[in-house]
Chain A
C-alpha cells in the first residue's frame, strides 16, 4: 500500500485526521443544507460555517503533510483555524445580531461540545512535537 511508504503508520495524527475529516463533513453538509434551504435566515452564519468546513478540509491536508515531515502548511493553517474559532466565537457573543442562527464556530463551537476550540490547540501541540521529531522525509 502506498500510504505505508509515504505516511507513518500510526500516531496521534490518525486521531486528528479522524476529527478533521468528521468536521469537514459535518460543517460542510450543515453549511450547504442551510445555504440552500434557509439562506435568508442567517447568511453570515451560514457562510462562516462553509468557511469553517473549508478550513477543516485544508487542516486535514495540512496534518497529513505534517505527519510525513512537511510541517510548513500546518504551521500556518492551524493558526488560521485557531484565529477563526476565536474570532467567530467572540463575534457571536459581542454581536449576536449578526448571528440570528448559529454558525459552526458560534460560542467557540458550543454546538459541537467545544471540540472546534480544542482541535487547533491539540493540532498545534502535536505539530510542536512533530517538528522536534526527526522527519521521515529526511531519513
Chain B
C-alpha cells in the first residue's frame, strides 16, 4: 500500500492531466476561457496544497536526501498555478487557456519530482 502522500500524488497527476487536456481543448476550439476552467484550476491548486501539507511529513525521521531540492519542489508545487492564474487575470481569450495547460503540466511534473525526491 503506497503512503498517503504518494496516493495524493497519483490523484494530483491524474487531475493535472485532465485540467491540461480540457484547457487545451477549449483553446483549440478558439473559445473564450470558461469560468469552470478557472474553478478546475483552483481545485487543482487545493489538491496541491493538500499534497504539500502531506509532504511536510517527509521531514520526520531522516528527512529527504536533498532537503534543498525537496523544499524547492514543495514551494514550486503550490506557487506555479496562482502565478499563472494571475498572469491571465482579466484575459479570457483562447490563448489564456493554453497558459493553464502549461501550468497544469508543470505542476504535474513538479508533483512527480516531489515524490521522487521525498526519499
* Chain A residues at the B interface, C-beta cutoff of 8 Å: 1, 4, 9-12, 14-15, 17-19, 21-22, 25-26, 29, 33, 36-37
Contacts and interface: CB of A to CB of B under 8 A. Distances in A.
Contacts of A19: 102
B72 A10 contact: no
Q: Is the interface of A mostly helix, strand, loop or mixed?
A: helix
Contacts of B83: 21
A22 B96 contact: no
B90 A25 contact: no
Interface of B: 66, 68-69, 72, 76, 80, 83-84, 87-88, 90-91, 93, 95-96, 98-99, 102-103, 106
Given A14-B99, A15-B98, A15-B99, A1 B90 contact: yes
Given A10-B96, A25-B76, A33-B66, A18 B87 contact: yes
Contacts of B80: 22
Given A15-B102, A18-B87, A10 B95 contact: yes
Contacts of A15: 95, 98-99, 102
17 contacts: A4-B90, A9-B91, A10-B93, A12-B95, A14-B88, A14-B96, A15-B99, A17-B87, A18-B87, A18-B99, A19-B102, A21-B87, A22-B80, A26-B76, A29-B72, A33-B69, A33-B72
Most chain B C-beta atoms within 10 Å of own C-beta, residue among A11, A17, A19, A25: A25
B70 to A, nearest CB: 10
Given A1-B90, A10-B96, 17 more contacts: A4-B90, A10-B91, A10-B93, A11-B93, A14-B91, A15-B99, A15-B102, A18-B84, A18-B87, A18-B99, A21-B87, A22-B106, A25-B76, A29-B72, A29-B76, A33-B66, A37-B66
Given A18-B103, A33-B66, A37-B68, A11 B95 contact: yes
Contacts of B87: 14, 17-18, 21
A15 B84 CA distance: 10
A33 B93 CA distance: 38
